[in-house]
A and B are shown apart, each in its own frame.
Chain A
Amino acid sequence: MRKYSAMKNKKTTYTGAGLLGLFLKGSRALFAVSILSSFVVTFLNVAIPQVISFTIDSVIDDAPPQGLFASFAALFGGTDYLGANMWLIAVIIASIALAMAVFQYCVTYFNHRANQTLMRRMRNLLFSHIQRLPLGWHVAHQTGDIIQRCTSDADAISNFISNQLVALFRIIIMVVLSLTLMFIMDVRLALIAAAFIPVLLGYSLVFYSHARKSFKKCDEEEGVLSTCAQENLTGVRVVRAFGRERYERDKFERQNVYYTGLWVRIEKFLAMYWTSNDLVAALQCMMLIVLGTVFCIDGAISPGDLVAFISYNTMLMGPVRQLGRIISNMSRAGVSIARIGEIINADEEELGTAEELHGDIEFKDVGFSYEEGKPVLSGVSFTVPQGTTLGVIGGTGSGKSTLMYLLDRLYPVTEGNIFIGGRSIGDISPATLRANIGFVLQEGYLFSGTIADNISIAAEGDVVRAARAACVDDNIRAFSSGYDTVVGERGVTLSGGQKQRVSIARTLIRRTPYFIFDDSLSAVDSQTDAAIRARLAREYGDATVILISHRITTVMHADNIIVMDGGRIVEQGTNEQLLKKNGIYRRIYDMQMSLPDDLKKEVGYDE
């Protein structure tokens, strides 16, 4: 596995260019090979018309070859010999073409390969980085938006480098080379040819920069149409139940017609642009043929040169006509780079290395707020001696889960402090904490893959035993593929209770010295809840356990119980002590543990 250590704990902020440099590491040489090959291709490409020109003027006709071509002809036994053996010319052309083919292959292949290397690096960097961004960052950003950046924006960057930049290089070389040769052959003709370049370029630049807005508008309107269909489908029962099919039809129809009209209007301009652009290019070609003919008759250039000149012009005009589009698209990449930069420039958590951890957990005057001025915890103090069980009970929003997020350093402690084994958790690396604390979330995420994969994701071990301890073994065996049942988007959907128990199993298999169950038995029934706790006590008896729950039955056997309300501890003690207090705990206990008299009467209940 490749390490992306350069990214770890970095505090550098990348500029747009710096970011490109970072992504391009490892693919630069490949891009260079592709670009160099394209230079060679360009040179070979312009050589062919020279051979043709020479053939027309000196082999077919009898003008004496000049300069380089004289020695060239001599090499092949003179122009007369070549004339008698025309196949030699064909062989020369074919040889150049073959060399060109080889290099052309290199251009395309290495560009692809470089681009793929770039893409892989970019994706891997992004993925690893995002994994290690603090939870707070994730909460502040929308999933859809981040994914969009990692896919569309990353594509845009790769497109910018591998298509647009490379094409730009190639076009510039082509333009310079063919224009130079054209100027050497005939300055007047070359000037006429060159005069059209700014015209065509300017025309396409203006057009594309305008068209882009219209394209964007069209995309948005198609989005509206798509949403309209989507909502109609998801809300099909509402539509049917209110008998509003006609309304829906009209709504879709309006947007459909509007969107179509929008496109057709733009396409009219597009068609106009294409054809007029073609016409300008064709006019240029016509002017060259006509004037070239005149100059040829004047004797200013030879017929062979005219043929070569027209070939060069064709080579020149193709790229020039693409240029406007490429340049106008390039500006898009800037936006994408900035959007990805925002992700890359966010600071990762400093995970550190995992070490052993043991000792009592101690919360001392801990306070916390997610938003300024809205404390969710204040003055929370309690101790969990090693090997004991703590029960935490409280309503929604009482701050129970936040306590545990702080303990696992998912959020930093800002007020008061937490100690484990006497060390402040600020001095214990997150890696150590998370390696030693088995934290079962209320809604754990199951990763795509089999159930067995999911249970053994964090540690190797006896999968079945862990599943049994979490009371989910029977359920898993009930699936036709058992432990190899695929879950996630492409697989089976587990029920809430099954998911929770698989989450428990994958935590238990780690055999960590600390366990936290954050309301992670909420979706299983009370009996299973009890069974899991019994197994836990039997098999993991020496672990320090924190049980968070709504249910009294879940926490009542704990060595110590804290009752949370509004971010504070309102009561603390064992079940017996708390019952004696006659406070909130007692009230909750009574409500949950016994049926009130009116219900007893109602159902005729007798104990």
Chain B
Amino acid sequence: MTNKRDKARAKAKESGRVKFFGLTKLAPFLAPYRGMFSRMIICTILVGVFNTILPLFQQYAFNNFIEYSTLRGLGGFICLYLACLLVTMVLDYIASYDCCKLEMYVLRDMRRATFNHLQTLSVSYFNVNSVGRIHARVMSDTSNISSIISWDVYQGGWNITYIISSVVIMLALDPLLALCVIVIIPVVAIVSCYFQRRLTVLNRRVREINSRITGGFNEGITGVETSKTLAVESRLDGKFFADTNAMKREATRLGHHRALFYTIIGFASSVALALVLWYGGVITMEGVIKLGTLTVFMTYAQGVMSPVQWTVDAIADLITVKVNVERVTALLNTQSDVRDTPEVIEKYGDQFNPKKENWEPLSGDVEFRDVTFKYPDGDEYVLEHFNLTVPRGTNVAIVGETGAGKSTLVNLVCRFFEPTEGRVLIDGRDVRERSVNWLHSHIGYVLQTPHLFSGTVRENLLYGREDATQAQLDEAVKSVNADKIIARLPEGYDSQVGEGGNSLSTGEKQLLSFARAILADPAIFVLDEATSSIDTLTERLIQDAIEKLMRGRTSFIIAHRLSTIRSADIILVVQGGKIVERGRHEELLQKRGYYYELYIKQFREEQVKAGYER
């Protein structure tokens, strides 16, 4: 029972927090700028107060100078007026500059926090979440949050102050006349709330259609060859026009609501003005208030409605930003599946501050001891009580059809994942006894789709080893036959490779990523061989490079090329996620099993290609 009550209480607490738009979660990001934040709020409040005071000067001018036809005290009046203006300006400058700074600093800190946190997450996180979505967490969610907690607070502070301050002044001047304005305020607030909600829904719908339209353009352009050959241009037109029609319909509806909304707010202001003129005119004639007071009421009547509307806008923003806050906090609260224990971090350091002085060298003995494994998002065991000893210098080839689950062993060796049961031993010790960073620094890894970073060739090569000398660079490049690529590039090592290395061909990227791996001089080498078609010459160069890389190193290769497979010391055959055969090439062929089938098939494929070579 108590448990239940606790839960209920926790839930209530939770929902209480929701009322603060989940913004309490942002406290850690605001904390360093507490001073700036408070200063901004104080200044913007003061600006609001001064802004409501300014009309009083007009009142004074009417009630004293004009009323009594005198200019006595005009000098002092001007001085005070000027002083007020200057003070307002200074305060406003401080507030808006603080607001800008706050926005940018909080944005910077949130991006830093999310980005750095991502560096600690294991590869499994990236398998489950798409790059686009993670990227949006780091770049756009943070940007939304920071802009709203700065600008909406700044604006909101001003608006609320303006409303309160003008109401107070009006009440002080004449409570009954003030009522003429005050009664309209809740009406405006309610209307704003109503429309705000409608507009949010409509806006979302319009955005959805808009992304459909962009998708339509993309489809029309990317699929142009297909649409021409099928002669379906008019059909695609029809499909696209349906979207643009929907867009016109929905966006016009949005326009209708917006028009109605602004019109009503404007009209409400005018009604307040009319009321003021009516009752105010009567009491002015009766001599209860002076003309100047009447004019100042007219100013407030027209000025106070927009802040009411803007306040509602700001609240709506705060409600929508909740989603962004939740996404960012969810990311920051995600714990990596693969984590070093505090003891390990103590000794070996973490990924940002490695304690290299304590790092042992790695010689390359790998052993799977009674390993059972299932992927975190899967429900089937892909390895059960798996044992494999790979002495240093052994080449392991993993073969199987696309999607058969060939990466599993590689994922375990690289500690991208950890065994569900059992142990992976490196040099006789459980991988978990030493840091992830230590392991990774000793593994050379080349992907099926080579990934280069934008920047120069040199920067990309140095990724393998920061302190490599020019001679080492040259040697590495030459050993994998990439020297010709560098020679061909206009600025050699300092040529830009473009975003994702896209100014180079796939084969060139492949060779450069080999050079990068060789520079790292890893004890263990992991390669996911590419299946994509590469011209024969480059293919040969790559084959040669692979052989060089494998020599004298423990290697795990997800292999497609017959030459690579044939020369391996151990071949593991994967089918349906499981290892079905293992042994040397000749032994496996003798068996006439699945490997035999795969081998013949691959052989034929290579023959098809080879047939056209001269």
A residues sitting closer than 8 Å to B (CB atoms) are 1-2, 48, 52, 55-56, 59-61, 83, 86-87, 89-91, 93-94, 96-98, 100-102, 104-109, 111-113, 115-117, 119-120, 123-124, 126-128, 130-133, 135, 138, 143, 146-147, 150-151, 225-227, 229-249, 252-253, 256-257, 259-260, 263-264, 267-268, 270-272, 274-276, 278-279, 282-283, 286, 289-290, 292-294, 296-297, 303, 306-307, 310, 351, 354, 394-396, 398, 408, 410, 431, 434-435, 437, 439, 441, 444-445, 447-448, 457-458, 488-489, 503, 506-507, 510, 550-551, 587-588, 591-592, 595, 599, 602-604
Contacts and interface: CB of A to CB of B under 8 A. Distances in A.
Contacts of A230: 131, 135
Contact of B119 (A98, A249, A259, A445): A249
B100 A270 contact: yes
A225 B140 CA distance: 12
B85 A241 contact: no
A252 B112 contact: yes
B381 interface: no
Contacts of A431: 231
Interface string B508-525: 000000001000100000
Nearest to A550: B608
Contacts of A106: 259
B482 interface: no
A319 to B, nearest CB: 16
Nearest to B129: A233
Contact of A271 (B100, B217, B218): B100
Given A127-B216, A447-B236, A249 B244 contact: no
Interface stretch (B265-273, B311-319, B385-393, B484-492): B265-273
Nearest to A248: B119
A55 B282 CA distance: 11
A368 B217 CA distance: 31
Given A83-B285, A108-B259, A119-B247, A240 B241 contact: no
Nearest to A488: B219
Nearest to B77: A290
B190 interface: no
Contacts of B437: 243, 245
A243 B589 contact: no
Give 7 nearest A-B pairs by CB, closest first: A112-B255, A395-B612, A97-B270, A241-B445, A267-B100, A445-B223, A108-B259
B223 A591 contact: no
A279 B69 CA distance: 29
Nearest to B180: A90
Given A101-B267, A447-B236, A108 B445 contact: no
B171 interface: no
* B222, B230, B232 — most chain A CB neighbours (10 Å): B230
Given A86-B277, A86-B281, A90-B277, A604 B215 contact: no
Given A246-B351, A396-B533, A458-B231, A231 B454 contact: yes
Given A116-B252, A267-B100, A226 B139 contact: yes
Contacts of A270: 96, 100
A410 B229 CA distance: 8
Interface string B96-129: 1100110011011001100110111001001000
Classify chain B: how many residues form its interface, as a range.
Answer: 35 or more
Contacts of A506: 230
Interface stretch (B13-21, B55-63, B419-427): B55-63
A128 B274 contact: no
A241 B453 contact: no
B236 to A, nearest CB: 6
Given A242-B445, A290-B74, A143 B231 contact: no
Interface string B572-614: 0000000000000000011000001001100110011111110
Contact of A241 (B354, B443, B607): B443
A133 B227 CA distance: 12
A532 B608 CA distance: 20
B65 A507 contact: no
B82 to A, nearest CB: 7
Contacts of B74: 290, 293-294
B93 A297 contact: no
19 contacts: A1-B241, A52-B277, A90-B275, A96-B270, A105-B260, A109-B255, A112-B254, A112-B259, A124-B240, A127-B237, A138-B224, A245-B437, A249-B119, A256-B108, A274-B96, A279-B89, A439-B229, A550-B611, A592-B607
B266 A101 contact: yes
A232 B115 contact: yes
B451 A243 contact: no
A286 B81 contact: yes
Interface string B50-81: 00001001100110011001110010011001
A390 B560 CA distance: 33
B445 A238 contact: yes
B245 A120 contact: yes
Contacts of B227: 131, 445
Nearest to B443: A241
A434 B230 contact: yes
B237 A90 contact: no
Given A242-B463, A245-B120, A445-B225, 18 more contacts: A56-B291, A91-B274, A112-B254, A124-B244, A127-B240, A138-B224, A150-B217, A229-B135, A238-B451, A243-B351, A243-B440, A260-B104, A278-B88, A278-B92, A290-B78, A410-B229, A441-B229, A592-B608
B223 A256 contact: no
B352 A249 contact: yes
B585 to A, nearest CB: 9
Contact of B604 (A127, A275, A439, A592): A592
Contacts of B218: 143, 147
Contact of B267 (A86, A97, A437): A97
Contacts of A303: 62, 66, 291
Contacts of B213: 123, 151
B366 interface: no
A234 B437 CA distance: 19
Contacts of B438: 243
B251 A116 contact: yes
Given A241-B440, A439-B229, A131 B414 contact: no
A523 B260 CA distance: 58
A237 B96 contact: no
A396 B535 CA distance: 9
Interface-central residue, B213, B231, B463, B611, by most chain A CB under 10 Å: B231
B233 A131 contact: yes
A346 to B, nearest CB: 13
Contacts of A276: 89
Contacts of A271: 93, 96-97, 100
B298 interface: yes
Contact of A408 (B219, B229, B352, B603): B229
A253 to B, nearest CB: 6
Given A60-B284, A602-B589, A293 B61 contact: yes
Interface in B37-58: 54, 57-58
B62 A247 contact: no
B112 to A, nearest CB: 6
A375 B238 CA distance: 39
A349 to B, nearest CB: 8
Given A52-B277, A86-B281, A120 B247 contact: yes
Contact of A260 (B61, B107, B604): B107
B526 interface: yes
A267 B99 CA distance: 10
Contacts of A445: 219, 222-223, 225-227
A328 B70 CA distance: 46
Given A143-B221, A303-B66, A447-B223, A267 B248 contact: no
Nearest to B105: A260
Contacts of B274: 89-91, 93-94, 97
Contacts of A61: 291
Given A86-B282, A113-B255, A252 B224 contact: no
